[in-house]
Structure 1
Amino acid sequence: MKLERIISMIYMLLNHEVLSASVLAEKYNVSQRTIYRDIDAICAAGIPVVSYQGVNGGYGIMEEYKMDKSLLGSHDVSSIVTLLRSMSAIFEDEKAEETIHKLQTVHKESRSHAMSLDIGSWRPYNETLRMIKDAIASQLVLQFEYVSAKGERVKRYVEPVNLQYKYDTWYLYAYCRLRNGYREFKLPRMISLLVTGEHFQHHQHEPKPAKTYARKTNSEDGDRNIVLKFSSDCMARALDFFVGVERRFNEDGSLDIYLRNQNLNELKWLMPIILSFGDGAEVLEPLELRIEIKIMLQKTIEKYREV
């Protein structure tokens, strides 16, 4: 009870210029002598409480210790708190919760949240995220098997740099000792993760940012306009997959999706997605992609020929 009272008093002092011992004693239903002891405990913890004499005297926290409210508006605080809550849920970070409480002392209105953010707190690999985060902080080498895009399982020893959330999944950015360079690893493809006891020192040369290449629009390089048709019962899922692209809603309830200037040689990822819709999706254009889908379907049918 004493600890809860002291914590509450700290936030009271942060939110007010000066509070008298009598006001604090009345609020917490204790004697003024108890308030004096609590103030001594707060000072002993390193929080600079100043005593003011006079009629309007009392106790306050040194202004230099407080965060200037002009630095952050209520919108800024609310946005930061929203992000910190999501991080705290994933990583079980007590420091993030402490920061949230501190920020809420800056603007009380930030306690009501107009939005929430969930960047994967339900994922089954949250424990993996926490292991990697601790390994990054302690500079410990990680060991795991990684499944490549070709389906190969290769043991990797990496020096973790940071965690990145993009494209709706988590990535580990690390220095790979097998490849002698910095690589990104998708967490769902990491198998049998172990934190070794080996410490590492960061490399002298910082990783270079990934290069971006301008996409060519010359049709001779394989670029085509792709048109996909989805039935009405597959429309919602199609909209989830294809965000921000050109689309048309048809009178029969179907949906057409247009992917402009796509290089067919780089669209291996697209065909499994189309097939996942079953007979609810159809490639209208181009002919080359229709043929590729037909070949994949024929191979699939061949596997079930004896059924």
Structure 2
Amino acid sequence: MRVDRLLSMLLIISNKGLVTGKELAEHFEVSLRTIYRDIEKLGEAGIPVASMGGKGGGYYIMENYNVDNLFLKKDEASTFMAIMNNLNFLFGKNAQFNDMVLKIENTYNREKNTDKLSINMSHFSMENELKEYLFLMNQAIEENKLMVFDYCNRQMEYSERIVEPFQIAFSSGQWYLVGFCRYRDDYRRFKLVRIRNLRMGEDFEKRDISKEEIEEIFEESYRRSSIQVTLKFSNRMGKQLTEYFQEENIQQTEDNQYIVVDHFPYEEGLLKYILSFGKECEIIEPRYLRDELREYVKELLHLYNG
């Protein structure tokens, strides 16, 4: 049982007040059965998580129970503070962030130990710009300021974008700006490494839309552009597959190989992603994707045999 998931689940239920099992399953990318087991574990730990059936129902924490009653061990508080200090480059000038850090420090009355954990961003080709951009984006979100920048597409062509910033996101090793793009007239995710000449623009009126509604826009766009793919993996990949795919999408065959059925964006990067598994992975369906990969490999052979 993952303790970090249980703690995160508790905080989500506490902050939202009422959360469905489906929402929790989608957030943690696990099955509903796993969520049910996690809720049981919270109950066994003495945390009064109750459920409400019917439309508009979900899980909630019973009244008179304060999550603040939970406590961190000294080493856990030290680790948490180390993380906060490493994120100082992003939120260091944010008053709420600094207040929170001071409260944690005062609560646990500990000696500072900011060297126990380090977030190394030296692999970014634009490390200094990244830190500057993250801070500027956070400031723009706080102050409802437009973000103006030049954005590079996959053809290495730049276009100016004016964006109403909504959120800074970190996913799969990359930072993103999430916001409403006035050029595309829709919500978009912008990869920070493709952004140049970032600056703040004029004030804008924040749109009446929730994070969940924006996620639904992205999910619908993903569904429209994605295809179902069936992959076969060798038995050598067995223990690693859960690092890449949800467990419920993985099936073991009688000959100890593995079948993965999942949805992927149908774009240029899909073939490269599948090739990253080398000879341990074979496309079963769709046939046209298998044919496309064969032609791609032929081009690679021609390149290196030429």
Normalising by structure 1, we get a TM-score of 0.54
Query: Cα 1:264–1:172, aligned 2, differ >3 Å: closer, same or farther?
Result: closer
- Report SS of the residue matched to 2:68: coil
Structure 2: how far apart are the matches of 1:285 and 1:103?
52
Q: CA deviation at 1:295?
A: 0.9
Rounded Cα–Cα distance in structure 1 between residues aligned with 2:117 and 2:283: 39
Q: Which residue of 2 aligns with 1:103?
A: 104
Q: Aligned letter for 1:283?
A: E
User: Could you tell me how far apart the structure 2 residues matched to 1:202 and 1:230 are?
Assistant: 54
* Residue 158 of structure 1 pairs with residue 163 of structure 2: yes
Name stretches of at least 5 consecutive residues in structure 1 with no aligned partner.
1-68
The structure 1 residue matched to 2:197, chosen from 193, 196, 203, is 193
Query: 1:258 is paired with a residue of what secondary structure?
Result: strand
- Structure 2: which 5+ runs fail to align? 1-65
Cα distance in structure 2, aligned partners of 1:90 and 1:199: 22
Q: CA deviation at 1:225?
A: 2.9
Classify 1:203/1:248 alpha carbon distance in 2 versus 1 (closer, same or farther; 3 Å).
Answer: same
1:246 to 247, 250, 253: 250
Question: How many pairs are equivalent?
Answer: 224
Residue 179 to residue 282, structure 1, CA distance change in 2 (3 Å):
closer
TM norm structure 2: 0.54
Deviations 1:138-184 (A, max 9, x none): 43332222234676532212222221223442221222221233322
Structure 1 window deviating more from structure 2 (166-175 vs 291-300): it is: 166-175
Q: Tell me the secondary structure at the aligned position of residue 202 of structure 1.
A: coil
Q: Is the Cα contact below 8 Å between 2:165 and 2:177 reproduced in 1? A: yes
Distance between the aligned counterparts of 1:107 and 1:147, measured in 2? 46
Larger Rg: 1
Alignment of 1:41-120 (within 5 A): 71-75=68-72, 78=77, 81=81, 84-88=84-88, 90-93=90-93, 95=95, 96-97=97-98, 99-108=100-109, 118=119
Residue 195 of structure 1 aligns to which amino acid in structure 2? R
- Using the TM superposition, give the Cα deviation of residue 296 of structure 1 relative to its aligned residue in structure 2, in angstroms: 0.6
Moved more, 280-289 or 154-163: 280-289
Where does residue 138 of structure 2 map in the other structure?
Answer: 133
Asked if the contact 1:86/1:119 (under 8 Å) is kept, the reply is no
Q: How far 1:117 moved relative to its partner?
A: 8.6
**Aligned partner of 2:199: which letter?**
V
Q: How does 1:1-307 map to 2 (within 5 A)?
A: 71-75=68-72, 78=77, 81=81, 84-88=84-88, 90-93=90-93, 95=95, 96-97=97-98, 99-108=100-109, 118=119, 123=124, 124=127, 125-148=130-153, 152-190=157-195, 192-196=196-200, 198-206=201-209, 208-211=213-216, 212=219, 223-229=228-234, 240-242=243-245, 244=247, 246=250, 256-260=257-261, 262=262, 266=266, 269-278=269-278, 280-283=279-282, 285-286=284-285, 288=287, 289-306=289-306
Contact 1:173 1:184 in 2 (8 A): yes
SS in 1 for 2:160: strand
Distance 1:167 1:265, change over 3 A: closer
Structure 2 residue aligned with 1:37: none
- Counterpart residue identity of residue 284, structure 2: E
Matched position secondary structure for 1:71 = helix
CA contact (8 A) 1:160 1:174 kept: yes
Identity of aligned residues (%): 17
CA displacement at 1:277 relative to structure 2: 4.5
Which has the larger share of helix?
Answer: 2
Coordinate RMSD, CA, aligned: 4.6
